[in-house]
Structure 1
């Protein structure tokens, strides 16, 4: 299925595997790419050297195009862009709007720039700055998310910009792909659905928690870092929501210390990153620290399998996913379902109108 997005990035199918911290590593990204989707490597939880090594590992596993996701507000964003350019990565995606300068540098090197946005005005801004496409996530999406449903946000963005739009938030099958195309999108992006594959390195016990979840088990909370965060309800989420300010600060300092040891970041750098993550909101110091080290809370679950100590970011689709296919099986299934849906729509005609 060829769309403006597949032509832009050079993949076979209009499907994106999103850059999920601690989840979208070389194994998952290369498997998604080999399946004909655009796999995106998550770099926010890697050092610069680890990012370069991960890019090279993906390239050793597949010759298909893939991308790298960056935090635009990271202090070393320019250095990470340098790795993308030097290693010849096809696509750079951003969790927040990148600066005009970063976009220009990437485009000058022939890299396709695809920021993720959660509002029409953000899409208009990055399009004016030269972004090649946008991923627009509605409120159903996992992780940090907004309040507007994909079915409302997506057509707004499609009408506002003249670049390919990829729809995210609430997608897991071929029917969703056809619905997104009907709204004018050029593809879909899926996070939770790719997390729940056999190619994902997330521990089996954690995957089991996702598979057991109902739609009502997926919640939005601000208790983790002060920003709306969609995740599975867990013991930790409950305790964070119950904790007083003093308890939250103690927990935040402890997690921050752990992330500092892993990342090699200084305390001042972590606080600066936490402040940058506020996005103009008033946060307590515990929330600032948590914003800086939320990756540790994700690592506890996604890497160590400690669902009692970590958070599990999840889109609402976690409540309807029931199996763990390989990426190849998933992508083939989505495309087959999409074709079935399109064939069914093709049979819908007003009375008296001949086929064709």
Structure 2
């Protein structure tokens, strides 16, 4: 299926595996890439040295194009950009809008730049700065998310920018791909659907929680870090929502210390990153501090399998997923479903009659 996304990135299918922290490691990314999708390596939870090692591992597993996801507000973003360039990575994706300078540096080196956005104005801004494409996530998507549904946000962005748009939030099958294409998107991005594959390194006990969840059990809460965050509703989420601010901040300090130890970041760097997170948002300092919860709470589930101690970011589509195919099976299925849906639409189309 030839679209602006496949032509831009060189992948076979207009499908993106998103850069999920603690989930999108070399095994999942290379499996997605080998199956013809654009696999995105998550780097926010890695040190620069770990990122370089992970990129080289992906390259050892596949010859297909892949990307790396970066936090544009990280203090060492430029160092990570240099790693992407030096290692010959095809695509740089960003969780937040990168600066005009970072976009220019990457494009000058031949790297495709695809920021993720949750609002039309953000898409317009990065398009004006030279981004090659934009990934737009509606409120159905997992992790930090907005209030506007994909079916409303997607056509807004498609109409507003002149670059390829990738649709995210609520996609898991071929019917969704066809719907996104009908809206004018160049492809779809999926997170939860790729998390729930046999190629994902997420522990089986955690995957079982996702598979057992209903649509209504995938909720949005601000209790983790002060920002709207879509995840599975669990006893831990309920307790965080009941916890007082003093207790929550005390817990955040302990988790921040743990994240500092595994990430290699200094306290000064973490403070600078916190300031960057605060910029342009109406966050209190306690909310900025609470943001340290997110990496450690996600790691507890996604890496350690502690569903009692961790949170599980999730799109609403978790309530519709009931199996764990490998990436090759999943992508082949999605593309077969998409072609079937297109054939059925063409077979049943009718022309309006006069009178």
- TM-score (norm. length: structure 2): 0.97
- Does the CA contact (< 8 Å) of 1:224 and 1:287 recur in 2? no
C-alpha distance in structure 1 between counterparts of 2:261 and 2:194, whole Å: 29
Matched, 1:278 2:278: yes
1:352–1:170 Cα change, 3 Å: closer
C-alpha distance in structure 2 between counterparts of 1:27 and 1:299, whole Å: 17
Structure 1 position 121, deviation (Å): 0.7
Partner of residue 195, structure 1: 195
Between the two proteins, the alignment pairs up a number of residues equal to: 353
- Does the CA contact (< 8 Å) of 1:271 and 1:288 recur in 2? no
Matched, 1:184 2:178: no
Structure 1 position 286, deviation (Å): 3.8
SS at match of 2:16: strand
1:118–1:253 Cα change, 3 Å: same
Partner of residue 68, structure 2: 68
C-alpha distance in structure 1 between counterparts of 2:12 and 2:284, whole Å: 46
C-alpha distance in structure 2 between counterparts of 1:293 and 1:90, whole Å: 32
C-alpha distance in structure 1 between counterparts of 2:296 and 2:352, whole Å: 62
SS at match of 2:292: helix
Matched, 1:125 2:125: yes
Matched, 1:337 2:331: no
C-alpha distance in structure 1 between counterparts of 2:154 and 2:87, whole Å: 33
Ranges in structure 2 where 5+ consecutive residues have no aligned partner? none
Structure 1 position 283, deviation (Å): 3.4
Structure 1 position 127, deviation (Å): 0.5
Question: Cα deviations across residues 123-144 of structure 1 (Å, max 9, x unaligned)?
Answer: 1110110000000000000000
Partner of residue 95, structure 1: 95
C-alpha distance in structure 1 between counterparts of 2:215 and 2:275, whole Å: 32
- Does the CA contact (< 8 Å) of 2:224 and 2:293 recur in 1? no
Alignment of structure 1 residues 40-51 onto 2, 5 Å: 40-51=40-51
Q: CA RMSD in A?
A: 1.2
Alignment of structure 1 residues 280-295 onto 2, 5 Å: 280-295=280-295
C-alpha distance in structure 2 between counterparts of 1:282 and 1:188, whole Å: 31
SS at match of 1:347: helix
Matched, 1:144 2:148: no
- TM-score (norm. length: structure 1): 0.97
SS at match of 2:189: strand
